[in-house]
Every structure is written in structure tokens, then in C-alpha cells.
Amino acid sequence: MSTARLTINLQSLAHNWRALDAKTNVETGAVVKADAYGLGAEPVSWTLADEGVRKFFVAVAEEGAAVRKAVGPGPDIFVFSGHMDGDAEVLSGQNLIPLINSPQQFQRHRGALPDHPFGIQLDSGMNRLGLEPADWAELRDAALALNPAVLMSHLACGDEPEHPMNRQQLRTFREMTDGIAVPRSLAATGGSLMGPEFHFDFCRPGIGLYGGMPFTEAKPVVTVDLPVVQVRPVAVGETVGYGNSWTARRPSRIATVAAGYADGLHRAIGGGIDAFAGDLPCPVVGRISMDLITVDVTDLPEDPNRLRILNGHQTVDDLAEAAGTIGYEILTSMGRRYSRGYVE
């Protein structure tokens, strides 16, 4: 194996969906945008459809086409970006439901696809997507007359359950939607864990399905195995990698593995993480470069053929913390150079 190997455990994915579904008494959908967070929209979507998911969420209409191919004609597929200019053909042809974000999108949708379903996305305080309260007040009667499929919003601080913004957004969302006989949704992964008042008619977890925080009970879904290109002896005082950033303090054996920041293992990760030979941790040393990472394997009894950098011991969130980013970015940055496999 000359390239790094990314293995996606679809059984763990399904387990995580079931576990999140059990946290609520309402329907549970699934966010599969960005190629299912980089793990493959088609295999992820058909796995979740087999588990009973009937509501899928993508970022843009083109992503919805891949999900439709995987799940068939039955489930609903919602598009977060709404009805963009030029989307009418794919929305109609793939039976996708745009989530209208602005008065302009509402007019575009009503003009291009007057009989096609749509949902409404409301801005409850995040200031990213959705109708502002004033716009909603103006459009409300016209929109409700067309029977939208859902009214929804998104929490800005859902990964921090005690953050006051969550309660503030909950109040705003209720003020905008209470008394309306349309299904409502506010909770992604974080909101699903915050209790029934955030659940409304259905939840739509994303990162928690794939083994990421804030769902601490998640099973790991992704493992990454790195092939060892070379193992070399390094004498005391010698340095390793760009910038001479690591110096050997003992006679060492350094394994060079075939992966780097071109494969989503960010240069900023640096020290503080390990690669594993079975259950034995080996520290990453020196700078991560575009295609190569160096690992101190001195304490292993023999030279390894491969090392695992992502597993049950070290998660996407551990890598993200070391890089000063979030697990979402690590997952979605996993490049196409990986050979990929799925455990069903």
C-alpha cells in the first residue's frame, strides 16, 4: 500500500444515528452535506436510509443529486442554500426541497417552480442564513399559504449547552413560529442533546453521526492508516524535518510515513499527537509536511509497516485540538489521495 488508507465503519455510523435518535421522542434526520463530511455521500446516505432516515440535508442542490441516487425516490432531501439562481432544473428533476433564505429566493422559487415543495429557514440570531424577523413578518402570510414543508433555524452555540445564546435563539424561534401548523426544526447534534424543548418536530444531527463532539458517546467512524516509507536511525543532537524543529535527545528510530497536510493532516498539528502501532502510541515529531510525517518509533520492538493516526484512542477532535481547529475541518479535509474502504 503506497497511499494512506481511510476506512469508514458504516456499522458505527448507523450505531451513532440510533443512539442520537434514542435521545429524543421525535423524528431524527441526518446532515450529509460536503460529501457526508468527506466520508462519501452515497454509502453514508444509503446506510442511514436503511436505518430509517427519511430526512436528509445537503448544502447545495448538486450535493442533493448524489444523495437522491443513493436513497431513491422516497426520502426528503433539503437544501440549506435554498433556491439559488440556476437551481430550478436540479431541484425539480431530483425532487429536492430548497430551504428559502431570503425574499429574493422566495420570489425566485415561486416564479420558477410554483408547485414545488420548499421550506423556510429563519434567522434566530446566528446572522448567517435565513429570513430576518422583519422579512419573515412581511412574507409570512404568502409563504404559509403555499404550505411550506418545514420552518427551521440553526443554533450558533449548540456545542456549548450552557451558552445563553441557545436560550435566546430558542425564544426567538418560538416567537417567530409558535401557533403555526408547520413542522419545525431547530436542533442539530448539539441541540439533540439539550433536551426536548429544543427538539420540536425533528432533529437533524451531523457531526455526531461521524464520531465528533459534542456527542461524547459516539463510536469512532473513521480510521486512518499511514504506510511507512522508511525508518532511519537518528543520533543524539540530530534534527528532523523542516526548520530543525525537533532534536533527538537519545539515539532514536524515526519512521517517515506517506501522508501530510495535502491529505488533511494539517501542518499546524505538529507535536502533541501520536501515531499508533496497535495500541502503542508513538509521538509525531518535527513538522508535518505536504506528503510526509515523521514519527518516533524508538520504543517499538521492531520497525512497523504502517501506523494509525486516527482511531479509537485518538479522534478527529484530538487532531483538531492539536491543530487549533474543529473536527469538522479535519474530516472534510481528508483528501482524495487516500485509498478508501468501508466496513458494513
What b/e string do you get for 150-167 counting C-beta neighbours within 10 Å, with b at 16 or more? bbbbbbbbbbeeeeeebe
Residue 54 phi/psi, 5-degree rounding, is -125, 5
CA distance 215 to 133: 31
Catalytic residue among 23, 33, 261, 328: 33
What 8-state DSSP symbol labels residue 137?
A: H
Catalytic residue among 23, 37, 219, 242: 242
Question: What are the helix (H) ranges across the chain?
Answer: 10-21, 33-38, 41-51, 61-71, 88-93, 103-112, 133-144, 164-177, 189-192, 316-323, 327-332
Residue 126 phi/psi, 5-degree rounding, is -80, -25
Q: Around Cβ 339, how many Cβ atoms within 10 Å?
A: 13
Bridge partners (DSSP) of residue 5 are 225, 339
Q: CA distances (Å), 233 to each of 39, 50, 146, 252, 281, in order? A: 37, 51, 71, 6, 19
Half-sphere exposure of 110 (CA within 13 A, CB side): 16
Q: CA distances (Å), 68 to each of 115, 127, 207, in order? A: 20, 30, 21
Burial of 46 (0-12, 13-18, 19+ CB in 10 A): middle
Q: Is 242 noted as a catalytic residue in this protein?
A: yes
CA distance 260 to 111: 48
CA distance 67 to 43: 9
Name residue, grid cell 442520537.
Answer: 20
* Catalytic center residues: 33, 242
